[in-house]
Chain A
């Protein structure tokens, strides 16, 4: 069946493409575009840092997208190859295949997609499918999606199954979303300085089977689980307010240990910004809101929704040493962020001005009371004290200063204080909460229009975990195309003196047009690697890494 669909699909593309050569519109043949990435790593066993030998010696992840557009028609495929998958990615990514193919056309107000598609409703609390290659996340739908737009009303409906590695999850997702832009709908509001939009979503999943054996008990579980969400966004001049609330009926799952408690999520944010100043404030409460199209799935498999972590997303190595991701079982989190540009010519600002950014964020557990563990549909698991905070999961305060000293020299100073509850965040037991102070500076110097130097010096101080670390990096931009960088991260204060390892790395990068080729050699520390508040564990490794990315 699959083969027939694929063959038919390409037959259509071929006909579409060949038929164009005979038309008078020969120079309007449509556009073919694509991109690719390949990561190939050669592994050296390095028992000192815990890098186990890799039987294949070399591993590779790669993909290529090809997209075709002509007028109102779009189609695309992605070929993926894992021979075998690089360490740290789920080994279920194995072998080759075409897990992504789609065709879309637009006819006036209607847009139809058949095949694979990514979708997000509102901020994603009840529905978001996306890809994050760095984490090996791809929960794309395969099915049909319709979008219909009429005068400020944006409607979307979809039915699909989700990708799970090279196969599909067992559940079927049915979802509908409407967003109303009041300023487009109501004629006399069209020029108003206040913009309001409201939206509502309904998502339902169906999974075969109404019984689950949990421990030694047989539980009756719903085959259909529905969730709905409402949202509003108000913009007035420099202010923006956004709120979204979501509710889900009982959804016993492996993540919540098959409890029948309904789920709830609320996300609020307010921002104020004007030239030279920005302020934002966000809050979130999540209660039992993991939403997967397979009740038995764990980890990051077949997630249908996205629960954003609110803490600052660090990019510098030691700043991101203890990263946080939202706990879908329950948390309350908050963020306050202030950014200011101090004017040129002022005392602090000097000749070129100075930028200051300060933020404070945190996440706590819910204040819960566990109920008696029944084994029927009264099994709600726990009750909560709605507004009280539970145990601290994560906290950080960051202060960042950026200043141009001369037209060629720029300096950045960043200080961060972080609290990291290792037991909760990594699902472990017996570890201490990690308190760390991290300071760093980055100095950039532009030698001339095509040569530059960049330096990072970072220090992480903590009494817990592996104690303190230092890191240095120097990067040369040589000419238009080349970049060379060398770095070392040193666990110099580890109480276990035999584990005071150096994690060194040297990388050469060549960039031309849409192509980037990077060749690096060095050691990779075992740790948690995160993108967008979702994390994966990366084991220690030592070796050579070649990364090629290209767009055409």
Chain B
């Protein structure tokens, strides 16, 4: 009885929402200097946004963001894209986020997700996990993991969004 109702409910949900576009959930996170900010306020004046989940203990994450950092100003000039980096470091390593970010000279918008609330709301299993939002705030593309060269896929997706071309997953 319990199980059949459960499956019915889940099925009903899946059927009724299958064509939905994903938007950002609303979760409280902190800036590196301790301000509280809600994730639903992310914006980039109608231009695409890249959101990347990372941690100071995650080497592929750092590779990803360092690789993008090298070309970020060119990306911004060309497309106006903004990158928002969400650190999921907990209190073990969160004090090290600002020194790391600054020493690398990252120019991203940076937040701390100290107890992984935003990570959970975005259904991220493990970092690195990168999302791309179109100008209306819809999540149109995502990618897990990172290997050298993957960053070029990201900027291709951003270019397509700007040209209004369809995005392949």
Q: A-side interface residues toward B, CB under 8 Å?
A: 3, 6-7, 10-11, 13-14, 17-18, 20-21, 29-35, 37, 65-69, 74, 98, 106, 118-120, 123-124, 128, 130-131, 154, 181, 195, 197, 233, 235, 238, 240, 242, 267, 269, 271-280, 282, 306, 308-310, 313-316, 337, 339-341, 355, 357, 444-446, 448-452, 454, 475, 477, 480, 483, 509, 511-516, 532-533, 549, 551-552
- In the complex, are the beta carbons of A181 and B36 less than 8 A apart? yes
What is the predominant secondary structure among interface residues of chain A facing chain B? strand
In order of increasing CB-CB distance, the 5 nearest A-B pairs are A278-B99, A477-B147, A35-B123, A308-B92, A273-B102
Say which size band chain B's interface belongs to. 35 or more
> Chain B nearest CB: distance from A241 CB in Å?
10
Q: Which residue of B lies closest to A120 (CB)?
A: B115
Is residue B141 within 8 Å, beta carbon to beta carbon, of the partner chain?
yes
- In the complex, are the beta carbons of A451 and B149 less than 8 A apart? yes
Is residue B90 within 8 Å, beta carbon to beta carbon, of the partner chain?
yes
Is residue B34 within 8 Å, beta carbon to beta carbon, of the partner chain?
yes
- In the complex, are the beta carbons of B91 and A124 less than 8 A apart? yes
- In the complex, are the beta carbons of A533 and B92 less than 8 A apart? yes
- In the complex, are the beta carbons of B98 and A17 less than 8 A apart? no
| Cα–Cα distance between A66 and B129 once the two chains are bound (Å) | 18
Q: Tell me the B72-113 residues at the A interface (CB within 8 Å).
A: 90-93, 95-96, 98-105
A454 and B148 contact, Cβ closer than 8 Å, known pairs A21-B16, A120-B114: yes
- In the complex, are the beta carbons of B98 and A31 less than 8 A apart? no
What is the predominant secondary structure among interface residues of chain B facing chain A? mixed
Please give, as numbers and ranges, the residues of chain B lying within 8 Å of A516 by CB-CB distance.
125, 144-145
| Cα–Cα distance between A313 and B91 once the two chains are bound (Å) | 12
**CB<8 Å pairs between A and B, sample of 18:** A10-B8, A14-B8, A29-B17, A30-B17, A31-B20, A65-B123, A69-B25, A242-B95, A278-B100, A280-B96, A308-B90, A308-B93, A339-B99, A454-B148, A477-B148, A483-B147, A516-B144, A533-B92
Q: Which residue of A lies closest to B95 (CB)?
A: A269
- In the complex, are the beta carbons of B20 and A32 less than 8 A apart? yes
Please give, as numbers and ranges, the residues of chain A lying within 8 Å of B1 by CB-CB distance.
3
Please give, as numbers and ranges, the residues of chain A lying within 8 Å of B141 by CB-CB distance.
513
Q: B-side interface residues toward A, CB under 8 Å?
A: 1-2, 5-6, 8-10, 12-14, 16-17, 20-23, 25-26, 33-36, 56-59, 63, 90-93, 95-96, 98-105, 114-117, 120-126, 129, 141-145, 147-150, 152-153, 169
- In the complex, are the beta carbons of A128 and B17 less than 8 A apart? no
Instruction: Specify which of B2, B145, B149 is in contact with A449 (CB 8 Å cutoff).
Output: B149
- In the complex, are the beta carbons of A35 and B99 less than 8 A apart? no
Q: Which residue of B lies closest to A278 (CB)?
A: B99
- In the complex, are the beta carbons of B92 and A195 less than 8 A apart? no
Please give, as numbers and ranges, the residues of chain A lying within 8 Å of B152 by CB-CB distance.
449-450
| Cα–Cα distance between A446 and B143 once the two chains are bound (Å) | 19
- In the complex, are the beta carbons of B123 and A551 less than 8 A apart? yes
